Every structure is written in structure tokens, then in C-alpha cells.
Chain A
């Protein structure tokens, strides 16, 4: 894109110094090498190849699960592919968009862009006030030209042409007299195309800055809050938290909220039977400790803004309240347990761990059915509303792996060292309960009580600094793009000369963008310039 040619020229190497003797032909001084490299990097061809590379480099991120996008899928993938995982990790394939090689491509692209934009801006700054170039001697040589004859004088014709071109918002060159009885008008328009082009490319840098601000200083965290419970915004409260690279916990605003209620409207008829809509979580929040309490109905697509943070409703589900007693009758596990929805019908999976039970630790793992129906002996979940809730769980006893001090997911029961509790006939014991019911475990191990169900909502809190910068950048980029695509830079020349009692008018037009069709433009100008009387001839 830089218009200069590659020839660095003799003496261009070490400025101010005589060229050292004995240099082989083609040998470059570091400075020449630098210039050569710079020109290569800022050439349009390189920019183009980098663009295509960027597109190619973005592909793996849509194929391999990304740690930052779906951590669960990423860890599952790692478990399933133990051999490929080290290679993929070495290649940063679980974090493509944060990887060094991806960054290398876009940083090179940005350097190429800047290196291309700065010289262009300078050229543009020089040209912005330039007058249109004088008319070429032979307008008939231009690909798009026309000519007509007029009875009017040269001056009149030219004056009309000037007025017409001015009306069409062309910039005119000061009057050019070409000897007696001849003259020309030179006009140009579309100067803003280059502005559009520059704005577009500079805006991309602005967008990148905004994006970088978000990924440096922003954060995003998710938390499941039981309806009736509260949340206060600090790191310990989150289930998952993705901080920006330069994030510090001081930036977290000290707000807190309680989820007072959660409402869902379940469709019970029509094709979307079983689908839910109009989710509303009623929040009571404080912007900071001691601030007045405010109410907000949190809905999908309608986040709550508190200072620079935003709170979003992104999911919901059920937490069965289950009490486990051991052989002594002691309560070893109680309260609501968050079960994770497995499908659209909100059939949910969860575990309960009671390591303190005597004589052995107890663990339960199984499903929650919001609307349980027994069809031919098979438990079926009909829909997501809690019309007939039930749990169906398997029981394990023994070491649940909680003593090792290793951190464990609350949604996974480690059964490697545990033994499945069976019925007298040896088949696995299943605890099937409806609210209020209790089932005794065999061998006097204890009992399980299903007390009821509490809904939960999943809330996402995020701070995205720089989002306004990015938005302004991308809007400016679009405006610049429109300018650079649709403003057509054109030059038009009109020459009139006296010939045998008539005035011969030659016109020519030149499109400077390479995409335009100036023949029609020229025809239109000719149409408006030719006197009406002569058109009829």
C-alpha cells in the first residue's frame, strides 16, 4: 500500500557515512534490511495474506472446545483424548484466541495496517487541498469521453459547465484559458472516499483497544443462587470466575442482592408445550452496604446495571431438598442441593455427599424429575414445571475420596473406592421418592428424606470496560466503510473550442476507484449541458 518502490538506492544504507567498500552485491545493511522488511510488511499483498491467515487461524477455536468459552466441554475433551491433549496444550488449542500465534497474526496485521495508514494519511493531507489536475491535451484518448457541438460561445459553454459541475458538488480548478477561443474546465469529486478508508482502518484499531480493555480489566462470573438466598459481589461467592489478565479484585463493586422470587410461565398447550417463557427473577439489591434497597425484575435480555457491573439472568433449575440420616439417626446431609438440568425438560442430575455418616460415608447420585410419570415401569419426565416432582437415586457407601484434601466438584461423586448399596437380592438399590416421603436404607445404614424442591437461578455478573469504546469504534468503522465503498472519486473535464462558427465541446470522465461505471455519469452530464434546442435536432 505504500507507494514507494523497493529500491533503497545507493547510499541509502548508512546515512551520513560513505558506503563501506567490499560489500557484496545484494548485501543489505541492517537499516536497509529493516526498510525492506517494513515495506514487505506494509504491502497490500502481505496485509491480504495476513487477513486470510487470520480467518484460517480462527477456525480451530470453533472445532476444539475452548477453555474460556465452555470449560466443561474442554475438560471433557481432555479426558477423552489423553494422547492429543499435551500436543493441543502445547499449541494453545484450548485457548486459541488468547494464544501467542493468534496474537502474532493480528499484531502483525495491525502493524501492517498502521504502516499502511500513516503514509496514506500524509499523502491524503497533502492532496486534500490540491486543485484538480489540468485537462489532458486529448480528451478523446480517455476511455469514457463524449463530445457535442453548440451554438453558444466558448465562455458561455464553459460557464455553464462550471455551474453544472459545481451543482454536482465537484471541486473546480481555477479558470484555465487555453489561448483565444478555447478553454477547459477541470473538476474532481469524491475526496471523502479516502477519509472513509482512513476512518475505517483507524476505527479497527479503536475497536481492538476497546476489546483489549475488556479482556484486560473486565471479568465475568457465574453463580447459582437459590431462590430466597442472596449474593454479594466478591470472589468467594462465585461458582466460576473468568477475570481479565490485569483484573484486580478491588474493582469489584460491593453490591449485593437477594433473589426474592422466581417465576416461569410454562406453556401447557400448543406446539411448544413444555417450553418455558417469561422468566422473571425478582431481585432486591443494594448498590453498596448501607445503601437503600431497590427492587428489579431480572429477565432474559434485560440485565440489571449496577455501576459498571451488569447482572444477567442466564439459567434456572431445581434444587431438591434432601435429608440423609445415618445409622445413628444423625442428620449427615441436609438442605437444598443444586441439580443441573440435562435437557429441555429439566430432567436434572445431582449428587449428595455425606462423608460424615457412620459407619461408612454415604453418597447419592441420581436424577430429579420435575414432572414424573411412570410409563410402563419406566420413569419419564414430562415437562420442566414441578407438577409431580420425584427423585430417583443410587446409593454408595465407603470412601468418597473427600479425605485426600483434593478439591472435588460438587456435581461429581467419586465412586472408585465406594461400594454400591444393593437390595437383598443383589440388585442396585434405587431410592425413588416424592416430596415428604422417606426411604430407609438396607442394613440399617440410615434413611433418605425428600423434603421438597427449591428453584435456583443462574446469574452472570460481568464488567466489560471498553465496551463503549469498541461500539463507537465499530460504528465509526461502518461509517468509514460506507464512505470508502460508495463515495466515487471522479474527475471530469470539459473543453470547448471555437471551430467554424460553432463551439465544439469535448468531455471526458475518469473513475479513480476502479469500481465505478462513469459512462452513465458522463452521459448524464452531457445531457444536462447540451442546450435543449440542440437535443431536438
Chain B
């Protein structure tokens, strides 16, 4: 029997009982629909975490002073001062995997404009910092190398600080505000970035030349961090190794001494956070997979009933020349058509519900082709697997008994 005839026979048999066929499909529809929707939501949240993190900086690598032993007492890294201009010079000279590098010193303090004030952080950085952290200037200009050389009292201002110091919508550019006791001229306004993945407000910031913060506010020669950009995603690990090597040399550490600094990448953070949401995806997928199996059992159940109910039809088909194989293929085909049609409808429902979730709840979703293909394949396999036993039962009927079955 040709495949076309086989499909024709199976379709006609299903047509005779449309409602039942649909109800049988329902399990598969819900299974596939939920697999696709769940995976889409899981992938979406994973991607959005990834996006938020990489939004914090371009292939960003941070160097921090590490905790260290000082006479047997562990000292917190932040209070440890190891990073200096020497390190920056050494890195600039020796590291080939990093494209941009900036020291950073931070100081917390009160920003004041006339009667208004706001507690904020001032970051002292170099001109490359804006690129590394993906910060853009909405209005005004960035400070220059010259400002760094002269420790100029200029700053860039973040949106949250503007909201609090200039609540009436005045243009802050050119205005002089105070940070602690020191007056700063606002020369640029940063584009808002919103909250980062950890819930910190990235707009609550003032940015000034690092020399200004070091000399005029903190009176220190140390940096609190060094920020760098790896040339691209692929070389981040190489860049970390290289930087570690250079910094060890620059700090004159012997082979058996621990690093007095830590080098961290964006990737590590992404991996940590993604693994959490990855676990969620796995759990959701397992739940959805279980519903697919239940859908398959539904198919088996109905096919068994159908074989018993259509015993006489099977007898007739055999008497007019259907071989056992033809009957087997017919019932198998019916099961597969049910599961695949259910799969198609399920994919459609999955798309639809994903869109609804995105539109109503605003959750980011990504429909991955692999989940569509996978659930589709699982459907076909489910159909064959759960359809086989009933079909085999049908094909082994004795035509004489089947014809006389009442």
C-alpha cells in the first residue's frame, strides 16, 4: 500500500470521529504548547540577564585589591591598597588582549546645589571609562586628557542626581555644584541606564577625572579598582591570565605568594546568574515533558478503545485484502497524525501564549527553534511509541473472528 493511500485511509478514519480525535490531541497540544512557552520564558529571562550584565560594560574585566593576610589577620580587599599608576602603566605597556583601561577611585559624599543636596558616589576615572562601562553622554561633553592632567574640577552627572539637584528641569550643564566642600562644574549629562541586575541604580553617580578625586578629595595614590575591556568575547580568559601575570610582576610577588588582587570578568557573573535561570528552564521543561508523556498515554488509551470498537471494520478491511501490516500502519498512522497535528496546534498555541505573556506581563521571551523542533520530534515519537501497541493488537486480529465480532 502506498504512503498516500495510507495517509488517506488514516485521515478518513479520523474524520469519522473528529471530536474524539481532537480530544485525544488535547494532551499533546497542551504538552507541546507548554514546552514551547516554558522554554521561551526561561530563555527570555536568561537572555535578559545576559543583556543587563553586558550592558554594564563591554567585555568588562575588573581588578580589585584582594583580601590578604597581614600578620595573621585577614584584611578585607576594599581596605587594602595595592593598585597604583604603576599597574596601569604596566598593563598599558604589556597587555595585548585588552583594548581600553581605566583606573577608578570612588568617594561617597553629599552633592549639593544651593539648598538641595543628595548623597551619591563620585567615581574618578579616565576618559576610557565611558567606553568600558557603555556609558553615553546625552548632553554636553566628556572631560579630556587635559582635565586629568590638571585635576580639573569638572564632572559628568547621572540622571538620578539631576532629578534630585535640579528638580525643576533646569539644564545642569555649566552649573556649578558642590561635592562635599569642593565645587565642580557640570560639563555633561549621562544617558540614563536604569537599575542593573543587582538592583543598583546606575544613574546615581557623578563622574570626574580620577586625578581630581585622588588628589583633591581622597588624597591618595591608590586606586580602588581598575576597569578594562577585552578585545572581544573570545579572548576574555586570555586577557585575565595576561593581566594577572602583569600585575603579579608589577607587584613583585614571588611564586609562592598569593595574588594581592582579584581579576573578575563579566562572564563569570553571567554564568552564575544564567545557571540559576538555566535550572529553572530545566524544571519547567521537565514539567512540560511530563505533560507530553501524559498526552501520549491519552493517545494509547484512545487507540486501544478505537481498535476494540472498530474490530468489525478491521475484519472487513482484512477480508477485502488488507494485510496485517496495512492495518498496523493504518492505526500507527492515525496515532502519528493525531500527535503531529496536536504538535502543530501546540506549537501555534505555544507561540500565542508566549506573545500573550510578553504583551500582558511584559516578560521577555525567546522562542528557540530547537524547542520547536524538539517538541515536534518528541510528538512524532510519542505517536509512534504509544500508537504501536494498539496498532499491533489490531494487526494481529483474526479476520474471521473480527468479522463476527459484535
Q: Do A and B bind each other?
A: no
**Which B residues lie at the A interface, using CB under 8 A?**
none
